[in-house]
Structure 1
Amino acid sequence: MERYNVGKRKDRQIANYYEKIRQSKQEKLFHEVIFQIGNREDMAVGTTEGDMAVKVLDEYVKDFQKRNPTLCVFSCYLHQDEATPHLHIDFVPYVTNWKGKGMDTRVSLKQALKSLGFQGGNKHDTELNQWINHEKEVLAEIAKQYGIEWEQKGTHEEHLDVYNFKKKERKKEVAELEVQKARLEEKNARLEERKVVMEEINERMLDQLDELEKDICKVQDNLDKTEKEAEKSKKQAEKYEKQLKRIAPLADNIRRYAGEFSKPIDEVLPEADFLESAKTYREKKAKPVIGKLKELLYSLYLAYIKIREEVDRVQYKYNRLESSNKMLAMRNQEQIEVIDSLKEENQDYYRLKRAVGENKADMLVQAERNREIEEYEIRKGQKKRYDRDAR
């Protein structure tokens, strides 16, 4: 079975070969044959002849497995609780190195008997009938050694073993039971099919729940990351805001002083000292000092502009992160609501199963699925006719 399952799709693998044969309509779990010699008139239990029949049957069964290597005997017992001693042999027929469909070692009465050399003919000359007649001849040869002759009366019914004779007598009863069995197997197959469908539906719902939970975890991770980035940006923005507040008064003075020193130098400079000429004072003292002061003030003003741009950039990034944070939070809430809805639907289905019973619930779900499929096929057919008419 393990060799057969290698490379097979999961739905084509065999999980339990015993159950597969048990439910098969072609093969059986085991076969039983019953052999006896004579009847109660000439081979009754407790008589000398009956004891002789026991010896013959005992010797016959010793080489049964050796003669029939493809019939695995698992039970063999001799009954003397009825009128005539008789032998029960239970076996499982199998074939190895099988090249056809199915496993290379498998249960098969027909192929097991073929491998022993019994090629079936018409329906009255099957492999099983040929093999049983052969075994009767083997039993007759052993009986002959004990002085017992096989009296063949020419009628098939008189040489039927006990099991087949009782089966023939109850033919009508067996036929009715077979019909009932077929109906039950058909009903069971439908129930199993519906059960498989429901399991697939439940499995798909669980898969959807798993996917949604994974999405929620992913969104939650992104949300946590975004919140950390937003918090970091917020702190950075607050830092720049504090710096901006500190330099704001200075910036105002810078703008004022820059405005003042943008006037002509002659309007700003004081008068020269009594002993110093105005030209000397302006050229050697006032102009260099004022020039350096203007350069300093201009550089401070440029620094202010740069800081202001940086604050605006951080504030813009912070606003974007805040917006993204809100959007992720909304998406997270939506997916949580979807999962809660799916879980509630799944609980409703189990409530339905408890209320009406599992089989009834499965039948209702299957009926609804069939109705949806029919509606889909109808719409599909109408669309095809519409497209054909349009062409």
Structure 2
Amino acid sequence: MAFNNIDYCNEPIRKVYHELFDDALKRYNDRQTRADRKIENYYEKIRSSKQEKPFHELILQIGDKENMSAESENGTLARQILDEYYRGFQERNPQLKVFSAHLHMDEATPHLHIDFVPFTTGSKRGLDTRVSLKQALAAQGFKGGTRGDTEWNQWVSAEKSALAFVMERHGIEWEHKGTHEKHLSVLDYKKQEREKEINALEDKLVEKKDEFRVMADRIKNFDNGERALQNLDESIMNGPEYQLPEPSAMMSARSYKTKFVEPLVARFKSLISTLFARYFKALDSYHRLNITNGNLYRENEKLSKINGKLTEENTRLRAENKDYSLLRRVFGHKQIDSLLEQARNLKGQKRDYTRSR
């Protein structure tokens, strides 16, 4: 696959140093009154320096050999994306002079090597145009913060985002691995709060659904009771315990009444009394359950609507947060924070002006 490699440039680094710094070196040496302060070879001075490196390298790769093998169709797509990304590199980074850049397709996964010399102009110390990674990146808007938020880390993050933009245009989403933002943005916070509200509502919905199910089961029990009453009715009509036997030939009416009729009437009275008591109790419970069930149903519907609205809002916040994160990665935290501060100040000025009128 070597024939698919792309060599964008490969200039000797010493030549690049001459082009970038010879004029500044002459101006510096002309100002010196002592010979030992003059710099004979600026490249050798930087190469032996402990403060600056003569050049820096950025290596970028999309995917791995499992999903972006150089010999696969995806590998060809990765080559196209990396090529498109590199075409805008120098324009994005005017303070980083690229002298060697190669896109390799002859290894397991397509990857891009970019070697560059960082430089700053208008310096008041040493050469007015000199090597400085910190100042070069600062001139491009990357100002260092904490130890983990250095100019280099901010710049690398921005370049990854630039690559992510190209990837998205080709339908590939950048999967962040092993990264974690310690501090939440406002949108992150709102999204988390909405997710908490949604989770709480979902828990409440589950609880109400359980109550609803219990009520439904109890109503079902009443339906079963209705069937039991029908069975009782059939038993009364046809069951032997509720039937009067034929009197024997020698039995008097008084004896028949005492032995059969009165016990049967007593059983009926007891049964009817019990049935009436249970019926009115069941009827009262049934009405109360229906009212409770109706209230639960309406509350459940209301919670479902609220949950739907919160879900939509959370989706919108997630999309806004994605855009917000991309802006931070591309333009840097410092620039975005500065813009936000300006916006807040402007809003405060408008509010103060409105109050004073």
Give the shorter-chain TM-score range. 0.3 to 0.5
Kindly indicate whether structure 1 or structure 2 has the higher relative contact order, using CA contacts under 8 Å at least 6 residues apart.
Answer: 2
The structure with the larger Rg is 1
